[in-house]
Chains A and B, each alone.
Chain A
């Protein structure tokens, strides 16, 4: 099994999809000669040329709209929105257009577009270049939302997203690009709506997304040394949500922690907690704990940034609270 970084896994998926299918093309700001601000699309211009690796003007609304139009005409565009924060500029097109056309046309029009974007703190990007806005998009019927946390997952999920006939918002995390992991020789598509159990445990389930999957696995390791057995589950697809796997896990462990880097208030974890309390009410032995960023704009100062966003230690504290230690 080859080993790829998360960044290489995304690039590999784009290359393989573009080689096997002329309908797939990519567009975005500075993705061609520069290879994208995070270097994900390096080398693609040389292989596929400017027709299929398209630099766009600095207008997220225009590029999102163009991608949606191409998708409605039968292409499978993958549009890169350089920073998750800039998704707010493309929101009109994604929320009011991409998410609605299939429904409003009575199924006559499909919009098979992928919006790749990245965000996340940990490198002092300041308040406008590291937000985690997945909760904005899981709230919109008509969109599928993916947040991959490992090289293997990002490869299999991006492939499925490209070939899904619905618009998919595909979140990547800035600090995960360099992490390495083994991936299957051939791309193995991962169905949307299927969670992954990273670690099995008996006492408490941590449901984590993005960077917090790795923080939670560290916390689980630490908890194990103190005699607490932790199960770590990554939903991977936030919409549709694999409620079955999450609920089954919590029915087994009777305790739950939800963890993400986005602010806790109104976060994706709030919905997970609601699902769990409703479907597993009589199995819960402790209140569901939530881990997320403090309710503040991200500070530029590394010390303050570190204070605002959650880490393994925060997950561990939450785990211990659920078991009353």
Chain B
């Protein structure tokens, strides 16, 4: 009996996933634990491993969005027959009666039956078509199964697809190979799941009543600390972000009302500071989390941060990397941004936006001095936190940055 490959639930709240591509083809041998296909969820793109060993008998869903729990493929032994995917375990699919199907099919029948040339069977039922013909068929929306191949061994070639496109001007391969779009043409970038999630969550966040507080910190000592730690251990490249994560975690533990989450009937105060770092990954904004940051040393934070940020940039995050954050740091300091306000990252009650460290003239002991200054802008969920405790938190944060020894 063939084993069904079910679309797995990779994280809480995941209802559907999008199959990006299969890493195995029908007929391939697969071993349990081998990557089988790439799944794009609303958080990450992840490889899904085979749950059983054998031969990949059939791919029921080649690509596209699929509900969790649906059968997407079958693994079994060579030559084993496979139940129809639709009948398998897709309880949600509406069952059509045979008569419905028949009447529908009849009503769609063209008035005059056209002679249909059957594609030559190629042994395993696969349609034989050149890569170019397949691409053209995709782009021109031509069903390869309806074509008759005129190439060697009945292969469907580009000409066959183009001549099937009756009424449309014949596309030459020249036109197709002109990759760059004509200037002035509107470019359409389809939404990825991650983009959709960013849009949905930020729209939700915009409904929350928030307020912002701003404070600046003299970074002289923090910079010296970073420089000294880098000198002592060049292998662990400590950054200002690491110091920020560390002092934020300490400040959150001291002001637990900020390390909070607003729910309908209670405010939840988290026991640990799980600090999220906003990362501009190629596929979009992601916020991997440094767990229990208040208990980690600066070097440990740097190691964790390097790992998760690196994997975020390589699109290799796992769903678990993004769960459970209680606070977020969004640092645009590398872009020479003086200060900015960040949108809340629900259900977290606070996020801090970090600008660039820049030399500013500041009064020190009644004299003018030039100091490296950093501006922090924190956004708070007013339903969970009031102004005074929020201000106390930001003050602790700024003071800890000015004198990191206090936080360590």
Binding site for B on A (CB under 8 A): 251-254, 281-286, 321, 324
Please state if A285 and B177 are interface contacts (CB–CB under 8 Å). Answer: no
- Starting from the known contacts A283-B131, A285-B157, A286-B157, 16 additional A-B residue pairs (CB-CB under 8 Å) come to A251-B177, A254-B158, A254-B173, A282-B131, A282-B134, A282-B135, A283-B176, A283-B177, A284-B131, A284-B132, A285-B158, A321-B152, A324-B150, A324-B151, A324-B152, A324-B157
Q: Cα distance A209–B231 when bound, in Å?
A: 55
B278 at the interface (CB under 8 A from A): no
User: Which A residues lie within 8 Å of B177 (CB)?
Assistant: 251-252, 283
User: Which A residues lie within 8 Å of B131 (CB)?
Assistant: 281-285
Please state if A284 and B157 are interface contacts (CB–CB under 8 Å). Answer: no
Sort chain B's interface into a size bin: 10 to 19
Please state if A285 and B150 are interface contacts (CB–CB under 8 Å). Answer: no
B233 at the interface (CB under 8 A from A): no
A275 to chain B, nearest CB (A): 15
User: Which B residues lie within 8 Å of A321 (CB)?
Assistant: 152
Please state if B130 and A286 are interface contacts (CB–CB under 8 Å). Answer: yes
A283 to chain B, nearest CB (A): 6
User: Which A residues lie within 8 Å of B157 (CB)?
Assistant: 285-286, 324
Q: How many pairs of A and B residues are in contact by the CB < 8 Å rule?
A: 41
Please state if A282 and B132 are interface contacts (CB–CB under 8 Å). Answer: yes
User: Which B residues lie within 8 Å of A281 (CB)?
Assistant: 131
B180 to chain A, nearest CB (A): 13
Find the A residue at minimum CB distance from B161. A285
Given contacts A254-B132, A281-B131, contact A286 B174 (CB under 8 A): no
CB < 8 Å neighbour of B173 from A252, A286, A324: A252
Please state if A285 and B130 are interface contacts (CB–CB under 8 Å). Answer: yes
Please state if A283 and B152 are interface contacts (CB–CB under 8 Å). Answer: no
Q: Cα distance A281–B133 when bound, in Å?
A: 11
Q: Cα distance A283–B130 when bound, in Å?
A: 9
- Residues from 164 to 219 in B contacting A, C-beta threshold 8 Å: 173-174, 176-177
User: Which B residues lie within 8 Å of A252 (CB)?
Assistant: 173-174, 177
User: Which B residues lie within 8 Å of A251 (CB)?
Assistant: 173, 177
26 contacts between A and B (CB under 8 A): A251-B173, A252-B173, A252-B174, A252-B177, A254-B132, A254-B158, A282-B131, A282-B135, A283-B131, A283-B132, A283-B176, A283-B177, A284-B130, A284-B131, A284-B132, A285-B132, A285-B133, A285-B157, A286-B130, A286-B151, A286-B152, A286-B155, A286-B157, A321-B152, A324-B151, A324-B152
User: Which A residues lie within 8 Å of B152 (CB)?
Assistant: 286, 321, 324
Q: Cα distance A284–B132 when bound, in Å?
A: 5
User: Which B residues lie within 8 Å of A284 (CB)?
Assistant: 130-132
User: Which A residues lie within 8 Å of B155 (CB)?
Assistant: 286
A97 to chain B, nearest CB (A): 35
User: Which B residues lie within 8 Å of A282 (CB)?
Assistant: 131-132, 134-135
Q: Cα distance A25–B173 when bound, in Å?
A: 51
B380 to chain A, nearest CB (A): 51
Q: Cα distance A152–B131 when bound, in Å?
A: 38
Find the A residue at minimum CB distance from B152. A324
Closest 4 pairs (CB-CB, A-B): A282-B135, A285-B132, A251-B177, A285-B130
Q: Cα distance A285–B177 when bound, in Å?
A: 13
Find the B residue at minimum CB distance from A325. B152
A321 to chain B, nearest CB (A): 7
Q: Give the one of A252, A321, A324 with max B CB within 10 A.
A: A324
User: Which A residues lie within 8 Å of B150 (CB)?
Assistant: 324
User: Which A residues lie within 8 Å of B135 (CB)?
Assistant: 282-283
Q: Cα distance A285–B135 when bound, in Å?
A: 10
Q: Cα distance A274–B176 when bound, in Å?
A: 22
B330 to chain A, nearest CB (A): 38
Q: Cα distance A282–B157 when bound, in Å?
A: 12
User: Which A residues lie within 8 Å of B176 (CB)?
Assistant: 283
- Residues from 131 to 161 in B contacting A, C-beta threshold 8 Å: 131-135, 150-152, 155, 157-158
Q: Cα distance A199–B384 when bound, in Å?
A: 74
Q: Cα distance A283–B155 when bound, in Å?
A: 15
User: Which A residues lie within 8 Å of B174 (CB)?
Assistant: 252
Q: Cα distance A254–B173 when bound, in Å?
A: 8
User: Which B residues lie within 8 Å of A254 (CB)?
Assistant: 132, 158, 173
Find the A residue at minimum CB distance from B138. A282
Q: Cα distance A286–B176 when bound, in Å?
A: 17
B57 to chain A, nearest CB (A): 26
Please state if A283 and B151 are interface contacts (CB–CB under 8 Å). Answer: no
User: Which B residues lie within 8 Å of A324 (CB)?
Assistant: 150-152, 157
Q: Give the one of B174, B176, B177 with max A CB within 10 A.
A: B177
- Residues from 95 to 139 in B contacting A, C-beta threshold 8 Å: 130-135
Find the A residue at minimum CB distance from B130. A285
A45 to chain B, nearest CB (A): 54
Q: Give the one of A252, A281, A283, A285 with max B CB within 10 A.
A: A285
A284 to chain B, nearest CB (A): 5
Find the B residue at minimum CB distance from A286. B130
A130 to chain B, nearest CB (A): 34
User: Which A residues lie within 8 Å of B134 (CB)?
Assistant: 282
